[in-house]
Amino acid sequence: MAYAIAAYLHFLAVFLLFALLLLEHQLLRRPLSFARARSLFRTDLLFGIVAGAALVSGVARAGWYGKGADYYLQNSLFHAKVGLFVAVAVLSIYPTVTFLGWRSALRNRQVPAISAPTARWLTWVIRLELLLLLVIPLLAALMARGFGVLTD
């Protein structure tokens, strides 16, 4: 039962990650309004929390309730999956730093200033994050069917 709950929480976190990123993509339109800027700030904060939940539930699944750490560590697709997750985490630093820079303006109920090039970069970074997140479930499905097992 614990494995099923860990799997459910992990899937839920991954789905939420994708939904939150999609929401960020939709909210990031120019001209930026105060309400959308505040929503972007909050959505990105929630994205970070859910990413942590995806990581914790994934570790719980792999280490304690799943097939065991050895099974996963011997699978090249697992390494690719974790690598993509890390890539998404690294890419998300740019939007997060940008949105955190808006705190002062948001606190003063002002629309944060965002240049056209910054908005374009943020949009492309979020799109790349979405693309990488789309590949992770494919790798998980292949891994679950025995692909990627490293042999000696």
Q: What are φ and ψ of residue 149, in 5° steps?
A: -70, 125
Within 10 Å of residue 102's Cβ, how many Cβ atoms? 20
Residue 18 pLDDT > 80, yes or no? Answer: yes
Q: What is the pLDDT of residues 127-147, one digit of tens each?
A: 999 999 999 999 999 988 888
| In the predicted structure, residue 42 carries a pLDDT above the cut 90 | yes
- How many angstroms separate the CA atoms of 114 and 94, rounded? 14
Other CB atoms within a 10 A radius of the CB of residue 111 amount to: 16
Write down the pLDDT at residue 152: 58
Beta-ladder partners of 149: 75
Q: Using 50, 70 and 90 to split pLDDT, how confident is the model at 63?
A: confident
Give the global pTM: 0.89
